[in-house]
Every structure is written in C-alpha cells, then in structure tokens.
Amino acid sequence: MSQDIAIRAEGLGKRYQLGVARHRHNSLRDLLADRLGALLRPSGSQHATKTFWALKEASFEIRQGENVGIIGLNGAGKSTLLKILSRIVEPTEGRARIDGRVGALLEVGTGFHGELTGRENVFLYGSILGMSKDEVRRKFDAIVEFSGVSEFIDTPVKRYSSGMYVRLAFAVAAHLEPEILLLDEVLAVGDLTFQRKCIEFAKELQRKDATILFVSHNMFSIKTMCERVIYLKQGKIIYDGPTEGGIALYEQDSPLSAVPWVRDDPSQWPVRLTEVALLDASGARRTVFDFGEPMTVRLGYETRGPVQEPNFIVAMIRSDGVACCNFSNEADEVTFREVDGRGVVELKIPPLKLISETYTVSVFVREKGFQKLLCAQVGGTFHVRHHLYDMHFGVFHEPAQWRWEQTREPLPAPLEQEAQS
C-alpha cells in the first residue's frame, strides 16, 4: 500500500442473518431459550433465515492526514463500516488495509465492563486499544483529568451516565495518540463543553497529520471537521467528495426520516407524518426566509388508530445542534380532541426573529402532558437571511428600548474614583 494511503477498502460487504439459526448455542442460556422457543412455536413453524446486507461493495481510499465524514440516514451502514475498519467484525466480502495505529470510539461502553470501576476500565480499555500497562499508568492522571470524572473514578461504571461513559472512553482513546482515529457519534452524548474539547482534540490530531473518520448526524460538526464526506445509503456508497455536496444529498434525503436519536421502530408509531411544508405569507413553499418574515408550517399526518389529545411539537434546531425554540399546541392551550386517519395541522409562526443561519425543523408528537413519544421525524431545513444578525448576536434578535443622555456635569465621586483607578 502506498505510504500516503492510511486506509484502503476494496469491495467491503457485511451480511447479517435475520432471525435465529437453529442449533447455534453459545451458552446454556441460548440452549434453554431455543428449546423453550421450540415448545412455544406452533407446530410446523420454522426459524426465519432471511439475510440482510448492512454494507455492500464499499470501496475507497483515505490518505494520511485526511478528515473524512461518514454520513447517512439511520441504517445506512455507517457504524458497520467503522466496526469492520476497527476489526470488531469481519467483513462478509472484500477487504480493508490499514496503515497506522488505530484508536476507535464506537458505541457507548464498548470495551468497558460494567462491574469494574472507572480506574479498572481505563486499564482494560487501554489494553484493548493496544496500550501497554506502563503506558496507561503514565497517562492515567491526564486521562482522568480530560474525562472530568475524577470524582467517580473508583465507582463501578454501571452507575455512570451515558455521558460519563463516553467522556472516559474518549479520554482513553485520545491518549492512545492514534495515527488513525475512528469516531462514531461521540458528540451525540455529552455536554457542549465536552463536545468542544473533543473537536479541539481532533483538530490537534489534524495538526499532527493524523487520519480521522467521523460518523455523525450533526452536519455542523461534519462541516467543522471534514473537507470530504462519504455518503452511505442502504449500505452502498452513493457519494464520495467535498463536504458541501454530501451534506446537500443528506438534507435532500432527511425530510420525514426518523430523527437520528430515536431507537424505536418508526413503522410501529401510532402517528406518522406524510408531509412537512414550510410556507410563506402567500402560501408558497420556501426554504429561504428573510429575518422578520412570517412562516406557516403545514403538517400532514396519518394514524394507525384513534389518538386522544395528541401534542404536536415543532422544533427549530440550528446547524450547530442548538435547539432554538419549540412550538407546542398543548403549551399554547390548543387541544385536538382526537385524531384518526389522515389530517392536516397548521402552525402559524410569528415573524421570524432567529439570527441568520440554517435550521432543521424536527416534528414530534407526544401523548398529552408531554408523555410517551408517538412520532419523531425530520421536517427539512430552511435558512433565515439577514445582512447583519449572525451567530455573534446569539440565537435571536429583538429590538430593545434605548435611552441616551449627555451631560457635562462631573461624575459622582465614587464613579470618578473608579474611572481614575
């Protein structure tokens, strides 16, 4: 492999079997579960043996020092690709060649044992990543300081929050000093301070000519970190090129897809959106609105059955992931007694005072009282346009009342003293 090629994938594919194969028993528990299932299944029924390709015919080269974003909707094959590259799973077909020391931070808790303390898991995970015990010992204090969980370092990690898991795991992976770093949605968990720390660390690796593969649904992070993206759709690479072009494809495919963090099966939701339209004052569809312009959000929906008093929530999410505002019919004391079948809900938004930026509309439907989630879908993106009001002005801008008075009288004594000091 050429010296400046860090990763080369040739026809990578991964096939999974759906259902349970007969007579595969990895433990006594598996054996008992299979025998019990055989007793409960109707006579003559068989195990499902369908197959599913999570990744198919993936070929690409990544040069040393490149930062590449891996993007796509849920189920596109992004995590499968990173698991193959990190040697967690074997490909069904094809091969991948990697030249360099690899650090990987994939799913929350990967490489951790819940019964062990944070201290013990630092050594365990470090060894999994390829660090020697002496290397972990030398870097231990720096790892704990970076993670921010020093108070809980001797607590079993099964009591950690998901954010604490990620912070500690990322800190270990960071101090591996990898030449190649694989990150899967690491910025989806953790507070903004830690996210910034992760991005700064990635930029520091960039300056050291490290190679980074970054899976994320946060397009702001992708734009910040990556000059190139690989866009996966239904397990296949359909785009490999400059970031802006890949993000444009992602945004075209995003409307009405499930929001990235939802783990429920969308096909089982009681409510499903069939349309999200952003309209101007004349009723025309728009994707660019001027600051101060009104907007109407029209939601088409269908239900699997009667839903009592649903709460429709429309959220405006800025490109950097900041939730700018939410609108809710329940919060506005508007009640839809029962929705059943197909229908339309319209939300007339006051003149837009959001600063000039790109926003994603996410739509949620919950039970009355902001309870159980019934639906969570992406409704598309729009841009607010203004020549001055950008992110330096915060989230929104409203004119304030100003008063100015000029006087030639001397300042009061205390103020005069402070000014002189």
Query: If you average pLDDT over every residue of the chain, what do you get?
Result: 85
pLDDT surpassing 70 at residue 259? yes
Amino acid at 127: S
Q: Please say if the pLDDT value at position 54 is more than 80.
A: yes
Distance (Å, rounded) from C-alpha 395 to C-alpha 323?
Answer: 9
| DSSP-derived secondary structure letter, 277 | E
Confidence at residue 275, expressed as pLDDT on a 0 to 100 scale:
93
Check pLDDT > 70 for residue 152. Answer: yes
Higher confidence at residue 88 or residue 123?
Answer: 123
- 8 A C-beta contact, residue 230 and residue 240: yes
With a CB cutoff of 8 Å and minimum separation 6, the contacts of 367 are 309, 310, 311, 374
Q: Say if residue 418's pLDDT is above 60.
A: no
pLDDT tens digit sequence for 11-53 = 999 998 876 555 454 555 555 656 666 565 555 555 555 788 9
Mean pLDDT, to the nearest integer, of 56-82? 92
Query: Is it the case that residue 319 has pLDDT exceeding 70?
Result: yes
CA distance 271 to 118: 42
pLDDT at 334 over 70: yes
pLDDT of residue 95: 94
Q: Distance between CA 66 and CA 69 in Å, rounded?
A: 10
> Which of 17-21, 74-78, 197-201, 329-333 reaches the highest mean pLDDT?
329-333
Q: Is the pLDDT of residue 203 over 80?
A: no
Q: How confident is the model at residue 143 (pLDDT cuts 50, 70, 90)?
A: very high
How do the residues of the chain divide into helix, strand and coil, expressed in percent and rounded to 5?
Answer: 30, 35, 40
Q: Kindly calculate the radius of gyration of the chain based on its CA atoms and give it in whole angstroms.
A: 26
What's the rounded mean pLDDT across residues 64-70? 93
The residue that leads in pLDDT, 170 or 288, is: 288
Query: How many residues does the structure list for the chain?
Result: 421
User: What is the percentage of the chain residues whose pLDDT exceeds 70?
Assistant: 86
Enumerate the H helices of 191-323 as residue ranges.
192-207, 219-225, 243-253
Domains detected in the chain: 5-12+53-253 (3.40.50.300), 266-393 (2.70.50.60)
Confidence tier at 339 by pLDDT (50, 70, 90): very high
67-71, 201-205, 213-217, 373-377: which has the minimum mean pLDDT? 201-205
Per-residue pLDDT tens digits for 266-285: 889 999 999 999 999 999 99
Indicate if the pLDDT at residue 398 is higher than 80: yes
